[in-house]
Structure 1
């Protein structure tokens, strides 16, 4: 494995771990912290904790549907020719 592949893998792993830690703290731990605590200024409002993953899921499913549609159209054109 090349050094560049390892660096990209490490970067992706650290990014994923950071997002997971931030989201876990935001959704599970933050509701039990007092509202006037200073840590609340580092997080978005709680409504976004549901809105962001739902929006990301809709975008991902839309992209996958369009991709599958193109693949199906291309395979249909190859079979007819």
Structure 2
């Protein structure tokens, strides 16, 4: 495995772990912290904890559906030419 592949893998793992830690703290621990505590300024309002993953899921499913549709159309065109 190339050094570049390892670096990209490490970067993706580090990014995923950071996002998971931030989201877990935001959703599970932050509601139990006093609302006037300074740590609240580093997080978005709680409503976004649900809204952001839902929007990301809808976007991901949309792109996957479009990709599968395009592949099916391309496959159908290929069969007609043969």
Q: TM-score range by the shorter chain?
A: over 0.9
Cα-to-partner distance string for 1:23-53 (whole Å, 9 max, x where unaligned): 0000000001110111000000001000000
Gaps of 5+ in 2: none
The runs of 5 or more residues in structure 1 that have no matched partner are none
Moved over 6 A (4+): none
State the partner residue of 1:29.
29
- The alignment's TM-score, normalised by the length of structure 1, stands at 0.98
CA RMSD across the alignment? 0.4
Name the residue aligned to 1:15: 15
SS for the counterpart of 1:10 is: helix
Distance across 2 between alignment mates of 1:4 and 1:74: 33
Provide the TM-score with structure 2 as the length reference.
0.97
Give, in whole Å, the separation in 2 of the partners of 1:76 and 1:5.
35
Give runs of aligned pairs for residues 62-73 of structure 1, distance below 5 A.
62-73=62-73
The 2-side partners of 1:4 and 1:59 are apart by 29
